[in-house]
Amino acid sequence: MSEQPTLLLAKSIVKSFGATSVLKSFDLSVRPGEVHAFLGGNGAGKSTFIKIISGQHQRDGGTLQFAGRDLGGSSASPADTGEIAVVNQELALLPHLSVAENIAMPRMQRALGTYSERASRALAIDALSLIDPQFARESVIRLVGELSLHERQLVEIARALRSGARLLLLDEPTANLTAAETGRLFAVIRRLVAETSLAVLFVSHRMREIRQIADVCTIIRDGKTAVDRAPLNAITDREIVDYMGQSVEPDQQTEVSLEAASDLREGHDTSHDNRGTAQRPIIVRLDDIELEIRPGAIVGLAGAPTGPLALIEALTGLGPKSRWDIERAGEPVKHRGPSGAARAGVGYISGDRANKGILATLPIIDNLMAARRIVERKKIARDEELRQGQALLDALKIRAGSLWHLPSTLSGGTQQKILVARWLNLKPKLLVLEEPTRGVDIRTKREIYALVRKLARQGTAVVWWSTEYLELVELCDTVLAFDLSGRPTGILRHTDVSEESLASATGMAA
């Protein structure tokens, strides 16, 4: 084993963005036939490094070798020749083309072949079947723009798996997948690794997953290699967290800092109107399921996306023709679109960060203030916005160059914090969250839990959809479970909420 030659060798890699120095002297090496976990906190530089290897960013210094060749200069990059395939953290499919076209196009180009629709479809079905044969048959002729985030993730992964590459770079590929899909992905990876000596560099913040799939890990911290190729069976979770620089007692800290941020709202509080209805639970009904969502409760939604998303659409005004009946204080609730819902006190954090959450062309300050502007429907003084924006960055420990920078200058997990920050000061009556800790590191996850718990204590009813059962077990007192076809199957309460019970109620193994 130890005699395996190195496939990728990165030495002393340096990279800055303007004044932000990200990689300071970073080393990493990958051998054929291994699954290599690449770990580090949000903003540590993982995606930046992956983009350097795949030729999307230029390094400022250091040496890179792939299969014994030096990379850089005029030689064709292995990403162009197809020897390296990448699934980026923010997906990169062409929305106006079909699934088949998206999967087949890169290979057609390489072979300089003519485009055959039939061949492309066959190729795409073949690729997608690795992960989900039914989805493969149903989806090939659909336009990518019509797919859900989760479906797009499957397409992107399938494309990479079928690429024939020698090194696969997977930047948080499982963040949008259900446990069952993750299981199938891992099975395919294991097979390819065993049969073709494929090497995989795998980024994830989910410790359990890392242990399931990876052989060794490299940890990045402060732009340098903190741990170099440690076998995972020789390093504990605690050590990993320590090396990432994440071992603090975050709950206490966050409590204090949110207090500070919400002080700014004294005197602007709009949440004490119609007290009467504000205190009443929301009741949601479908077929023989009836669930009460009380102020202060954190209600979990579990299961494959179809079911939870239909209820979320009904709650947030996105799906006016929903089959769900929603009622508060004996009155049916029908929101006219998400902004109507927002004004009625419903906060919503979409799981589709890139397309439905972050406003990519507007600076961070506008992203932070988006919800408040919609809710209050009046011009807010710039000074006040800037003051509050800065307070939110401080409270959530968001490292941003400036409030005027674009969100694309923030790492994936940090962008997620911005979405949560939007609602913090508004004290919504109901806050609906879709996978709010997707791509978020261990410490930030704790911070988001603490923030949401705090909102709940202030009287906000919370609805939280997660594909991570452990998260629902930790946070929720009540969980509504859905089966694979999207039907609600039952309500679990208190001690009944466990990973095992959720797995059996949703038909998806944990």
Ligand X SMILES: Nc1ncnc2c1ncn2[C@@H]1O[C@H](COP(=O)(O)OP(=O)(O)OP(=O)(O)O)[C@@H](O)[C@H]1O
Contact footprint for ligand X (CB under 6 A): 17, 20, 22, 40, 42-48, 89, 399, 408-414, 439, 441
Residue among 37 and 480 whose Cβ is closer to Mg ion: 37
**Burial grade of 185 (CB within 10 A; 0-12, 13-18, 19 or more):** buried
> Within 77-106, which residues bind Mg ion (CB under 5 A)?
89
DSSP letter assigned to residue 360: T
Tell me the longest C-alpha to C-alpha distance in the chain. 72
Taking a C-beta distance cutoff of 8 angstroms, is the pair 130, 158 a contact? yes
Cβ at position 416, least distance to ligand X in Å: 8
Of all residues in the chain, what percent are helix, strand and coil, respectively (each to 5)? 40, 20, 35
Cβ at position 441, least distance to ligand X in Å: 6
CA-to-CA dists, residue 106 to 82, 148, 239, angstroms: 9, 22, 41
Residue holding tokens 């995606």? 47
> Which part of the chain contacts Mg ion (CB under 5 A), choosing from 23-31, 46-54, 222-230, 312-320?
46-54
CA-to-CA dists, residue 400 to 89, 256, 415, 451, angstroms: 19, 21, 10, 20
Residue among 370 and 440 whose Cβ is closer to Mg ion: 440
Cα–Cα distance between 52 and 46 in angstroms, integer?
10
Query: Per the structure block, which two tokens stand in for 357?
Result: 């959450």
Which of ligand X, Mg ion, none has residue 43 at its interface (CB below 5 to 8 Å by kind)?
A: ligand X
Taking a C-beta distance cutoff of 8 angstroms, is the pair 427, 269 a contact? yes
Cβ at position 52, least distance to Mg ion in Å: 13
Sequence-distant (≥ 6) Cβ neighbours of residue 251 within 8 angstroms: 446, 449, 450
Residue among 347 and 413 whose Cβ is closer to Mg ion: 413
Cβ at position 507, least distance to Mg ion in Å: 31
Cβ at position 235, least distance to ligand X in Å: 19
Residue holding tokens 């795998």? 202
Which of ligand X, Mg ion, none has residue 437 at its interface (CB below 5 to 8 Å by kind)?
A: none
Q: Is residue 43 at the binding interface for Mg ion, with CB under 5 A as the rule?
A: no
Which of Mg ion, ligand X, none has residue 388 at its interface (CB below 5 to 8 Å by kind)?
A: none
Residue among 46 and 107 whose Cβ is closer to Mg ion: 46
Cβ at position 170, least distance to Mg ion in Å: 11
Residue among 205 and 427 whose Cβ is closer to ligand X: 205
Cβ at position 50, least distance to ligand X in Å: 8
Cβ at position 102, least distance to Mg ion in Å: 22
> Which part of the chain contacts Mg ion (CB under 5 A), choosing from 41-49, 189-197, 274-282, 451-459?
41-49
Residue among 45 and 357 whose Cβ is closer to ligand X: 45
Query: Per the structure block, which two tokens stand in for 145?
Result: 């723009």
Q: Whole-angstrom distance between the N-terminal and C-terminal Cα of the chain?
A: 32
Query: Per the structure block, which two tokens stand in for 79?
Result: 């990403």
H/E element, 38: strand 35-39
Taking a C-beta distance cutoff of 8 angstroms, is the pair 364, 315 a contact? no
Cα–Cα distance between 230 and 214 in angstroms, integer?
11
Binding residues with Mg ion: total (CB under 5 A) = 4
CA-to-CA dists, residue 502 to 292, 305, 434, 483, 498, angstroms: 19, 14, 17, 10, 6
Residues in contact with Mg ion, shown as a per-residue x/- string from 404 to 443 under the rule CB under 5 A: --------x-------------------------------
Which of Mg ion, ligand X, none has residue 404 at its interface (CB below 5 to 8 Å by kind)?
A: none
Residue among 89 and 416 whose Cβ is closer to Mg ion: 89
Sequence-distant (≥ 6) Cβ neighbours of residue 367 within 8 angstroms: 358, 359, 407, 418, 422
Which of ligand X, Mg ion, none has residue 476 at its interface (CB below 5 to 8 Å by kind)?
A: none
Residue holding tokens 């906060």? 347
Measured CA angle at 177 (ends 175, 422), to 5 deg? 45
**3-class secondary structure for 115-159?**
CCHHHHHHHHHHHHHCCCHHHHHHHCCCEHHHCCHHHHHHHHHHH
Cβ at position 221, least distance to ligand X in Å: 10
Residue among 107 and 438 whose Cβ is closer to Mg ion: 438
Q: Is residue 45 at the binding interface for Mg ion, with CB under 5 A as the rule?
A: no
Q: Is residue 41 at the binding interface for Mg ion, with CB under 5 A as the rule?
A: no
Cβ at position 507, least distance to ligand X in Å: 31
Give the three-state DSSP class for 304. Answer: coil
Which of ligand X, Mg ion, none has residue 88 at its interface (CB below 5 to 8 Å by kind)?
A: none
Cβ at position 38, least distance to ligand X in Å: 9
Cβ at position 339, least distance to ligand X in Å: 29
Nearest CA to 99 out of 140, 55, 153, 43 is that of 140
Cα–Cα distance between 472 and 502 in angstroms, integer?
9
Residue among 40 and 307 whose Cβ is closer to ligand X: 40
Residue among 401 and 486 whose Cβ is closer to ligand X: 401
Residue choice 44, 47, 159, 395 for contact with Mg ion (CB under 5 A): 47
Residue among 44 and 104 whose Cβ is closer to Mg ion: 44
Which of Mg ion, ligand X, none has residue 279 at its interface (CB below 5 to 8 Å by kind)?
A: none
Which of ligand X, Mg ion, none has residue 316 at its interface (CB below 5 to 8 Å by kind)?
A: none
For binding to Mg ion (CB under 5 A), which residues are involved?
46-47, 89, 412
